Amino acid sequence: MTNIELYKLIISFIFGGLTIGLQSILAEKFSKIGGIILSIPTTLPLSLFFICWFNDNYAGYMANEVIPISLVILLIFVFVLKYFITKMNIILANIISILIWMCLIVFIWHLNISNFYLGLCVYFIFIILILFFITRKMSVINGENKKFRYKNIVIRILIGGSVISLATILSKLFGPFWGGFFAAFPASYITNINLIYSSSGGKMLNKIFKTIPAGTILLVVYSITFKLFILETNIGITTLFSYLITSIVFYIIYKVIIVKSK
């Protein structure tokens, strides 16, 4: 690894750690929209940004092609982790969830589903089923609602930065196609789910999970915007514009949830 690549990796660690740490704190503080906050694009933009920075814009474009189908796997992952984390040892729950994520990724790879629009159709069918059937039947999971502890902030930042850096390295090693899967690796979710459950217990986690499915729409919006602009302009402008559009959608979803909760 060259000095420039190391420099880029350090930047990904710092920004990734601070962003994920802040996400988990805000999700606990504003649990009504906690799932939306956890879904604000972090791993995805950083990974795509560094794929383009390490390679070129076309590499980022190709990696983005598998993002919609990867989000379907991400949703399955977070619900599996939510279930197991309250039923068994937290480390074992994480291992099982990651193994299931990996098996699904390999399965999709063997099916060669790399078409962006096909993945988008599968995602929207899946998200509609979740919003109408699964989240309405979610019961309160075990675990007390613990008091938030600010001493966990440093731990959150360190874990978050480490996971983001790992996703960046894997994206570099395995090329655009696998880079896309790792760009959609549930780094933010796996980090924050563990931190929130350890810090604030099952009741808080259950509140946050009710809005995670709707929150993944933010990731889809980012991915669509990225696809439309990455080959037309540079990665910096594409990232800023994608975040701008995503922020507008975030506000709309936020207003809808607030109105429905009244």
Tokens of 237: 């402008």
How would residue 182 be classed by pLDDT, with cut points 50, 70 and 90?
low
188-218 confidence digits (pLDDT tens): 677 777 777 776 666 777 777 777 788 888 8
> Domain ranges in the chain?
3-261
Instruction: Classify the C-alpha dihedral 80-168-246-14 as positive or negative.
Output: positive
Q: State the angle between helix axes of 43-54 and 212-229 in degrees (0 to 180), rounded to the nearest 10.
A: 20
Q: What angle do CA 75, 11, 220 make, to 5 degrees?
A: 25
Residue 158 confidence (pLDDT): 72
Residue 218 tokens read as 């933010």
Using one digit for the tens of pLDDT, what is the confidence trace for 59-81? 888 888 888 888 888 888 888 88
User: What pTM was estimated for this model as a whole?
Assistant: 0.76
